[in-house]
Structures are given as structure tokens and as C-alpha cells.
Amino acid sequence: MTDSRTTLSSRDVKANDPGEAGNQTLFRLFTDGAARGNPGPAGIGAVIFRAGEAEPVKEVSHYIGETTNNVAEYRAMLAGLEELHLLGARRIEIFSDSQLLVRQVQGVYETRDAKLIPLLQQVRQSLRRFRNYAIMHIDRSENRRADRLAGQAVDAARGISKRKQAGRSQGATDGRKAGGVS
């Protein structure tokens, strides 16, 4: 990963934290959202690794309907944070190629879009579940796996729609004339 990442200061770990004996493993979350058109059909991708391991612990890929790319970016992060919580993670690093998302979560950029404000609040609330966290902006080339998962979700959903449309148009041209009389 490049040194050009921006980092949000991690919260201090309290010595008497009741969960301190819990999971000390550092987890890394890579997230991406994709919209074909803006707004358009959108998907999310998230990949979770244990630090130092090459194989992911969990991958997430979901179609989320018609929305903007920025909403998809937030929804991907929320999905990844939920999976980390379910894994019992306490120490996390989050990586995203969305500079807007990273800087809004860090508080560097204001969030004025009415659709993003509640999502930002949800992300910040979700981050409170973790003892330590850092969020970093990375180059898109370093986020290929999450990007691929987000794109696959959109493409799979669009493929289903195309097959349904093809089936309907094929039924109308199976030798019958319009009006159903042969």
C-alpha cells in the first residue's frame, strides 16, 4: 500500500476496558461501492482480512438497487463494519478508494447531501463498537478485490433483468401474431 494514505487517529484503548481480554487480532476491511450511472443500478463489495494473512476471512457482494455511487460507498462500509462486529473484531483498519467517504468520516469534509448524512451517522455509530480503528484512503489499484465484488453484484443483477426481458420478448415472437390469433 502507498504512503499517501490519510489516517484517522485511533481511539485510545482503555486499560480497564471489559472487552480487553477479547479479540486482539487486527482486522483489515476493504470496501467499495459501484453504481452503473449516477444514480443507477448499484452494488457493494467488502473484503475482510486478518492482518498478515493473504486469504480473506469474509467477502461481501450485494446488489442494493438504484442509487448513487456515494450512497453505495457508504452502504459497503456499513456492511463491512457489521461483518467485523459479527466476527468479534475489536481492532480494525478500514481502506477505501473513495476520498470523499474517508474524509467525511474523518470530519475533514462536511456532509451536506441529505442522503449521506444519516449514512455518515450510522458509520460513526458503528465505529463506536470497536476499541481501535483507523480509516485510510487508498488508490483504486489497491482496492481491486472489493471493486470486483461490487461490480459483480451489479452485473449479476443486471444479467437477471436481461434474461427476464429476453424471455418476455421471446414469448411474444414464438410464431404467434399480435392479438394471439394464428
Distance CA 111, CA 48 (A): 27
**2 in a structural domain:** no
**77 in a structural domain:** yes
Q: Which residue has the higher pLDDT, 63 or 172?
A: 63
Q: How many domains does the chain have?
A: 1
**7 in a structural domain:** no
Task: Please say if the pLDDT value at position 2 is more than 80.
Answer: no
- CATH code for position 67: 3.30.420.10
Q: What is the pLDDT of residue 159?
A: 85
Query: Using 50, 70 and 90 to split pLDDT, how confident is the model at 158?
Result: confident
- 67-108: pLDDT as tens digits: 999 999 999 999 999 999 999 999 999 999 999 999 999 999
**14 in a structural domain:** no
Please state, rounded to an integer, the average pLDDT across all residues of the chain. 83
**59 in a structural domain:** yes
- Matching residue, cell 438497487: 65
Distance CA 156, CA 2 (A): 32
- Indicate the DSSP class of residue 87: T
- 129-139: pLDDT as tens digits: 999 999 999 99
Amino acid at 56: P
**21 in a structural domain:** no
Distances from the Cα of 74 to the Cα of 17, 121, 125, 134, angstroms: 29, 10, 13, 16
**1 in a structural domain:** no
**179 in a structural domain:** no
**For the chain, what percent of residues have pLDDT higher than 90?**
73
> What is the pairing mode between strands 91-96 and 26-35?
parallel
Helix, strand or coil, per DSSP, at residue 133: strand
Query: Using 50, 70 and 90 to split pLDDT, how confident is the model at 160?
Result: low
CB atoms within 10 A of CB 166: 10
Domain of residue 144: give its range: 26-166
Comparing CA positions, the residue from 146, 150, 64, 136 lying closest to residue 106 is 136
Q: What is the pLDDT of residue 180?
A: 37
- 105-127: pLDDT as tens digits: 999 999 999 999 999 999 999 99
Task: Report whether the peptide linkage leading into residue 41 is cis, meaning its omega lies within 30 degrees of zero.
Answer: no
